[in-house]
Amino acid sequence: MTHSLLDTIAARLGPAHVLTDETDLAPHLAETRGLYRGRALAVLRPRDTDEVAFAMRACAEARVPVVAHGGNTGLVGGGVPFGGVVISLARLDRVRAVDPLDATITVEAGCVLANVQAAAEGAGMLFPLSLASEGSCRIGGNLATNAGGTAVLAYGNARELTLGLEVVLADGQVWNGLRALRKDNSGYDLKNLFVGSEGTLGIITAAVLRLHPRPVSKATAFLGLASARAALDAFGALRDRLGPRLTAFEYVPRFPLEVVLRHLPGAVRPLEGDHHSYALVELSSPASDAHEELEARLAELIDAGLAEDAVLAQSEAQGAALWRLRESLSEMQGYEGGSIKHDVSVPVSRVAEFLERAGAACEAALPGVRVCAFGHFGDGNIHFNLTQPVGAEKAAFLAEWPRFNRIVHDIVHAMDGSIAAEHGVGLIKRDELPRYKDPVALDLMRRLKGALDPHGLLNPGKVLAGEGGPEAFPAKAAGSVTAARSGTAA
């Protein structure tokens, strides 16, 4: 059956685009962090939506599972196959249309995020979704995981940037919802079933995305702050004064900054002296006054005692250097040893409280553990990472992951937060979800899965427990746990 299926698909896609050699399969069997290593019969490389639909239809008839792949930069096991085939969307990489008047761009799912940004810029517009992995992640994966990034404060998650989708369904049918409408109340909003579904309900093959006017000027600053609570107060003050012009407020405590300064080649300390916390702030303006405006607001923060010190970038190069410090945090953390990661969110008003409570609880649970928490204050998303104690054995530390999940996730839940904020559920949080998700919500999710994918062929074993796939925890899954040294924000 397997050979017959692959022969059928190869006759349509071409033998060169049905990969079965172990060397060709290997890059598709593990994600960036290497938490899991899977297996697959083949990697299929269709060139367009029709070929994706053909391959999906053939797999559905043969009851062979399918995992869709974009840039494979995921961090939660959501793209790791455990049998079946991988459908790579890398060849679906065309920008189909850019319309400045509609303020939209229509792109195929395999477009690299940086190329989408560049196409928008070429038309004098802005596509604001920005991630540290934007040079390699692909827009289909960004949408399937509802990616956030550093500009959520002003522009929203991927969901808010999506107007229409084209999706291949589990039976090979194609839903064409590629519309640029801002208003459409003609029934259910189907696109939002697929954005954030992690490839479990359908395979996104193209999207109509919302563009924004390009800012005339930008200004970037780095603040030194006395505490997480001071950072939250500073954020509130800036948001009150700047409104939507405040496009980023990235929180960085002392330890993560020291890690970057220690390991990132060419990194320069942005402020003299030490501070408890730091924040990277960006202002975008439709006028040419961003620098002067942010300079005035920084002076107000310092005069009010909300910031201890601040530096304002005097050039694009200086601004890029400040952003490089923030975007290198996850990668540089890997040089300090094992890392236990939690991508969570709480209400913005409770971010500082969460950092204090979760930090104290983890330090009490394992003396010497180094809290490496950073993130986006504007949307309450914190990457609450834990670095192994100095001199500890990495494998023994990583074996503590379930215990720290319980500590951190219980606190998040008590604060009405989410245990999966930006990277999704995938495999790593699948078995955590029933403990924290409303049971009615879980039932609705299972009903949707059953209706759209009755045979459980799309990315099985991910998001929902009891849908097949491996046992969900790194220490128990195939392969080994390794420290992250990736360019993705985590």
Mean pLDDT over all residues of the chain? 92
The string of pLDDT tens digits covering residues 322-350 is: 999 999 998 899 999 999 999 999 999 99
- Mean pLDDT, residues 83-91 taken together: 97
DSSP-derived secondary structure letter, 418:
B
pLDDT reading at 83 higher than 50: yes
The reported pLDDT for the residue numbered 377 is: 87
> What residues contact 206, with CB distance under 8 A and at least 6 apart?
49, 92, 96, 106, 107, 108, 109, 165, 166, 178
Per cent of the chain over pLDDT 90 is 88
| pLDDT tens figures, 168-181 | 999 999 999 999 99
pLDDT in tens, 419-460: 998 888 999 999 999 999 999 999 999 999 999 999 999 999
pLDDT at res. 468: 57
> Which residue is listed with tokens 């890392």?
339
Tens digits of residue pLDDT in 33-63:
888 899 999 999 999 999 999 999 999 999 9
pLDDT at 477: 38
Q: What is the pLDDT of residue 474?
A: 42
Q: pTM of the predicted model, to two decimals?
A: 0.91
Q: What is the pLDDT of residue 422?
A: 84
Residue 4, Cβ density class (10 Å: 0-12 exposed, 13-18 middle, ≥19 buried): exposed
Query: How many C-beta atoms surround the C-beta of residue 186 within 10 A?
Result: 7
Instruction: State what percent of residues in the chain have pLDDT above 70.
Output: 95
Domains of the chain, earliest start first: 1-88 (3.30.43.10), 95-213 (3.30.465.10), 217-326 (3.30.70.2190), 336-414 (3.30.70.2740)
**Mean pLDDT confidence for 293-321:** 96
Give the DSSP letter string of 88-137.
E-TT---EEEEETTTTEEEEETT-BHHHHHHHHHHTTEE-----TTTTT-
Per residue in 245-276, pLDDT tens? 999 999 999 999 999 999 999 999 999 989 99
- For 94-148, the pLDDT digits (tens) are 999 999 999 999 999 999 999 999 999 999 999 999 988 899 999 999 999 999 8
